[in-house]
Structure 1
C-alpha cells in the first residue's frame, strides 16, 4: 500500500481533505505567521505565492506522500496542514509533520488532526512506524505528539541554529501496536473516512 488514495478524514472538530490550488492564498498567510516560520522552516527557506500555488496544485498526485488541508469542521476554514512523507515501503514507515496557523491553535484542532492522519497511516495504509522531528523549544507541539502516542527516541543536540541560538531537535516515533494501545486508552474511536 502507498498514499495513492487521498482521503477525507472527519473528526469532531476538524475535516482533513486534499489540497487544491485555491488553498495556496490562505496557506501563504499561514506559512508567513512568525510562529510557523520559527518552528517549521529552515532560516534559508524562500517561499513565494507562485511557488505555493504550484506546490499545492500537485500534492494530490504523489503516491509516496499524503498532504491534507486541516479545516475547522464548524466553519470550513483552512487552518493548516498535516503531511505524511518519506514513505519507506520495506520498513512500512514514514515521517509526519504538521503546521497550524494562528486561527487553528489552542482549540484541540491540531491534536485531533494528528490523531486522524496517524490513525489513517496505521489503520488504512498499514504502516508500522511513524516518526517526526520537533524543536525542543516547541513544548506545545511535543504535548500534541505525546498525546497521540509518540515517544522520544533521541535528541540531536544543538542541531539547528535559530535566530542565533542553538536548538536541539527531538526525534519521536509511534509504532502501530503503541498506537492501538493509545487509542484504546483514550477511547477516541475510529475516524470517519470519506473518499473525495
Structure 2
C-alpha cells in the first residue's frame, strides 16, 4: 500500500465520492457536488498545490481512495495542515486508512516545515477515531456543532500529531 499522485485514470474514482452517497459514507456525504470538480483541479495542478493536495491510496494498480490536506493558519507566522481521507467501501476496515494516514503524516513532515497536523471526524465515526489513534494522532477534544450534515449540526472530535510525536516507521525497520 502506498500513496501516489492522482493520474487522469483515477478521476472517475474520485468523482464517485462526489456523486454516490454510498461511496462517500454517511460521515462524508454533504450533498451532491459538481462531478467535474476533481477534473478541473487536476488539470490546473494535478491536485498538488502549495496550499494543499490529494494523493491516491493504492496497492499496485488498485485504487483504495485518497488522502487530502489543506493549509490552515494559527497566526500570521504559523501554519498547520488539516488532513482527511476517503476510502472506497471495499477498502474499509482493513487497516488501509491507518497506514495511509501514517504515510501522509510522514510525507508532510518530510517535505514541509509544519509542526502540527490535525484531523477531525464526526463523534459517531468510531472507526476513523481508532484509525487516527493508531496512526499516532492524539485526541484533543470535541468541537461542538462543528459541521452541518444531513439537516443538522454535528459534533466532531479533534485530533493532532506534532512533529515530535512521530515514532519510527515500523515498515522501514532498522534500515531507516
Q: TM-score range by the shorter chain?
A: 0.7 to 0.9
Aligned partners of 2:145 and 2:23: how far apart in 1? 20
Gaps of 5+ in 2: none
What stretches of structure 1 move > 6 A for 4+ residues in a row?
Answer: none
C-alpha contact 2:121 2:129 (8 A) present in aligned 1:
yes
Change in CA separation of 1:27 and 1:34 when aligned onto 2, cut-off 3 Å: same
Q: Which has the larger displacement, 93-102 or 150-159?
A: 150-159
Q: How many corresponding residue pairs?
A: 169
Change in CA separation of 1:65 and 1:164 when aligned onto 2, cut-off 3 Å: closer
1:105 and 2:88 matched: no
1:42 and 2:55 matched: no
Q: Which has the larger displacement, 104-113 or 50-59?
A: 50-59
1:189 and 2:172 matched: yes
C-alpha contact 1:133 1:171 (8 A) present in aligned 2:
yes
Aligned partners of 1:167 and 1:58: how far apart in 2? 33
Aligned partners of 2:82 and 2:113: how far apart in 1? 14
Q: Deviations over 1:130-175 (max 9, x none)?
A: 0111111101111111111211222122333433454211111110
Q: Deviations over 1:91-136 (max 9, x none)?
A: 2521111111112212211111110110111133232100111111
1:52 and 2:35 matched: no
1:85 and 2:73 matched: no
1:114 to 101, 104, 121: 101
C-alpha contact 2:141 2:158 (8 A) present in aligned 1:
yes
| TM-score, normalised with respect to structure 1 | 0.74
Q: Kindly indicate whether structure 1 or structure 2 has the higher relative contact order, using CA contacts under 8 Å at least 6 residues apart.
A: 1
Query: Offset at 1:79?
Result: 1.6
Output the aligned Cα RMSD. 2.4
Aligned partners of 1:21 and 1:87: how far apart in 2? 28
Gaps of 5+ in 1: 1-13, 191-196
